Amino acid sequence: MKKVSGHIVSFIFAAALMQGCSTSQTLNKSSDALYKEGESFYQRGRYEEAIAQWKKVKESYQSPELSTQAELQIADAYFLNGDYIEAATAYEDFRKLHPSHQQAGFALFRQGMSNYKQINGIDTDQTPVKNALTIFESYIKLYPTGEQLVEVQEKIRDCMDKQLQYELYVGRFYLKTGAYKSAIGRFEDALRLYPDLARRDEALYYLGRSYLEDGQKAKGREVFGKLSSEFPGSPFISDANKAMDSFF
């Protein structure tokens, strides 16, 4: 076995000593100092470093009040850094631990927004839409006069519109592939579930077409009549007339 030189041993010992001193300094820092360091990183947009400092605040167990603030700040840092999955979890954890906290409503709103920010399109997984809608509806029930009420109401309408778009997207796919009865069911559900939203004229048009393609001409004519009477200015009326001409 080769003998390790004294210089190398001394270097390893010095490095270990320096690391120990650094660790000791970190452990000796007060939770207030750690929290302020996190704030400094946060203000400069260095969110990952802010999160690291605030996690140390939580782990120090020195101040329950600062630990609680750090938990919410960690969630905010995740959110602003675009880490929406982590942010949603952090906001949910904060609410579970502090259901009566004065910022619990804000945390619920941000939890909903963290899911909302994960929405990509109508041809992708719709779980984020469903989750966001569920959370926003909970906000309305729990905080009917909350500060974020107006924005939550807007997001609810937008989530419902996205759900309607998804129903129309699937219905059009069924219509295109000849699964007419499935298409009819999808468009009827869209009209039933979202009666007060825009795009109702589009749903009526595709429902009428699906009936015609399925051989149910009387029902197709009836739906197109409803389209004309309810939406006389709709751009889908011209397409409905062309569809009628091709079947009658």
Contact 171, 183 (CB under 8 A): yes
pLDDT at 133: 98
Domains and CATH numbers, the chain: 157-248 (1.25.40.10)
In angstroms, rounded to a whole number, what is the distance separating the alpha carbons of residues 37 and 50?
7
pLDDT at 63: 86
pLDDT at 3: 47
In angstroms, rounded to a whole number, what is the distance separating the alpha carbons of residues 192 and 81?
39
Q: In order along the chain (248 residues), what is the average pLDDT of each group of 10 residues?
A: 47 45 54 95 97 94 91 98 98 97 98 97 93 98 98 98 96 98 97 94 98 97 97 96 90
pLDDT at 61: 81
Cβ-defined contacts of 60-64 (< 8 Å, 24+): 60/31, 60/34, 62/30, 62/31, 63/31, 63/32
Report residue 55 as tokens: 């996690």
Query: Within 98-235, where are the H helices?
Result: 104-116, 127-142, 149-176, 180-193, 200-213, 217-230
pLDDT at 28: 62
pLDDT at 160: 97
In angstroms, rounded to a whole number, what is the distance separating the alpha carbons of residues 81 and 48?
8
pLDDT digits (tens, 9 = 90+) for 25-70: 445 688 899 999 999 999 999 999 999 999 999 998 888 999 999 9
pLDDT at 51: 98
Q: Please tell me the pTM assigned to this model.
A: 0.83
pLDDT at 29: 81
